Structure 1
Amino acid sequence: MRDLAGDTRDFPDVEQWLGRRWIDTVTQESRIKIEEMLAHPPAAVPNWRQVNHSGTSELPLRYRAIRLANGATVAIARDERATARLQQRLLQVQQSLERDYLRLRQAESRYRLLFEMTAEPMLIIDSATLRVREINPAASQLIGAHNSLAGQPLVAQVSADYRDRLIAFLGAAATGANVAPVHLVLARSDRGISLSARLFRQQGDGYFLVQLAPTEHRQIDAKEHLILDLVERLPDAFVLTDNALTIVTANSAFVELIQEATVEPLAGRPLGDFLGRPGIDLDLIRAQVGEHGVARNVATVLRGSLGGIEEVEVSAVRTGEAQAHYAFTMRMVARRLRDLPPVTRDLPRSVEQLTDLVGRMPLKDIVRESTDLIERLCIEAALNYTSNNRASAAEILGLSRQSLYSKLHRHGMAKADDTEAAAE
């Protein structure tokens, strides 16, 4: 090199290059590039070539060498250290991605092996189309499929009578709720199964991880079919619970009353979430069933999932001992009473009738009923004692004649002449 220009602060080894051959200042792999640039003919337009200089640290520079007419060569350089750092970072990121991809492939292989080898029947279902995406051998054997079910509708694998139940169950599971397993019957083998599903998402799409388990299933005869159909069509709500008052099943009227879409999300939930005042009404019903074998027309309220409240009358029975179950029927009293024309309600005539009102109405209303009963009985006794002489009866009772006539009207005991006397 005859002459060079460069900032020694940026290029600390540049002064050592002066007087040396250009090719001796670069690394071994860059020497051929120097030879090609020096051999470039003068008339041609040279290209940029990157070379690495050796020294205290490797220095990457991009050169364009221009051959002059007198045989000398002028080389113009650009600093490529920033670009080299970016390239190094890009290489590191690429290597990291390759390592992550390798780990992902290994994990996928392990999980796929578990999915295929597990003895538990499992499927992966597309939540949008309800078609089978993956199925393991255990599920294929349980369903009785000789060929792969990939791409086939899941509902086609169950008996026609249970397809609506399966669709409703998957709709409830799609909301992310923890839904109790649903009992179905397979179409090919007429075998009973328990199906549970869990929603998961992958790359923006939803899928169900479905687990199957065989259950005991027996054919239901025509009489049982008729009974089940009648219970489902009852206008009154019907609920079946276990001994802990946890809902096992319910009919459509109950589902409508509590403002739910299907019965599947209700299975496994306490009946106390919907029926009665907490800690009062259900305990009262259970006590009556335990003492008398049945509870009849217990007045309480039914709370809906959306905040609605209906006044209902509840009747209940229990069956079995070791695995006892309770059956509840509920009738909407408030709605029925609103639809009826207003009528005059007879007052209770005895203490027994008053005590029967406990549980049907608040204490303050019972006290008011008691007061009206005592007042009416006293007026009747005074009238009988005075042979229906209104003036004498009012004197005995310590009332004015106008007050007595007013009470007679209130209790429905007044006559036409009582109205004229009150006017006087």
Structure 2
Amino acid sequence: MKAFKAPKSSLGDLDAEAAATLITAAADIAIIIDSAGAVRDVAFNSESLAQELAGQDSWLGRPWTDTVAPDSRPKVEALLADPGEAAARPWRHVNLLSARGASVPVLFSAVRLSKGGRAVAFGRDLRQLSALQQRLLEAQQSLDRDYSRLRSAETRYRLLFQLWSDPVLILDAAAQKVTETNQAADALLGRTPRRPQGRELLDIFAAKGRESVEMLLAGVRATGRADEVRVLLEDGKDIVVHASPFRQENAAYILVRLAIPNADANAIVLPKAKSKLLKLVENVPDAFVVTGPDGRIMTANAAFLDMAQLANEEQALGEPLERWLGQPGVELEVLTASLRQRGPVRLFSTSVRGEFGAVTEVEISAVSVMNGVGPCYGYAIRDVGPRVAPPMRPGTGRAPRSVEQLTELIGQVPLKDLVREATDVIERLCIEAALELTGDNRASAAEMLGLSRQSLYVKLRRYGLGDLPADGPE
């Protein structure tokens, strides 16, 4: 601190009002304390601080130590002690008590006047600095929590990575160099803590398999999609190489997993061409579903899951196909009966209902296959959308009511009439489907429906189907 060189001549005669103005302007808050340590007057240069410390008139006549927080009282006592030289006067952080009981941080320095033993405490408002420090502390604590979670996640990843029984390697996609391995891969590559380099990845494969692995890695880099190849190790063991690309810190890497094929004696090993065929069926745009003899789904491809609005195959497994197909309890039974009696079915028109209400017009081709225990049925379902409209059959009378039309009648007609109307709709649909499947052979259609020919003709006349003479069949 450097004082004025000639304060008496430069400042002149200052009266009390001028001195008070100077003291008020020099600090955000100024407190006059008498020789006994009691507050005699208070002045503010900060309007917000004055509002925060509203009610400071009650300080007058009270010891200054009573207006501060308990942890700040020793600091106030040190400020009021004889400060010695002006250059040695310290600044101390003092927490004043507001009328609401909150602590207001202020940085104080005290100067004792020459007359009367009074002192002036100059204060600087630290609220903004304290708020910034608090936000900095909260940000630091948040960063510490994030770092802790990241360290925990990395520890779990390292533990799982090392305990994985299959050899797993991470390759630099550009240089094809091994950057990280687990314990199983270290044993396969001959890596040890004393000899970390070991052999390169391609060295562990037989000469004929190295080219396949190189093509696999090149394909993964080019397409960005995971793939696999089955090759032989150098010692003649069969192994499947899985490669999956990923990016980290703007660099491309490949995760390589070496899996030993299942050696179960009951497992069926398909030829390479058949394996590719299954992959194609899984990825074709047409839906494909396999059901058991009870009509419950055994497997379904991705296209059917999209059509039925399902998230994964597990939601479809074990469920009846009729849950999503056409009219429940009618069309699937007609398909199944035709498969059992007449073999493959082609271009059967119906619809598929999604879980969220979407309805897709489709054509189904179906086939049955014996699997040793009983028949299983395969359904190829093609979305035809609005392209194909079912032709009107000659002699058809009024169109049957749809489900939506029946729903609109609720509240307008009695329940028994609704039930009768719904029964007529289902009966007509079954008869039309049977006629379609049998090529309009009414004898076969009657047999398929479990009716006598005479009963079928009565129903055909009732619904206006076909060309029947008024007096019945000949």
TM-score (norm 2): 0.42
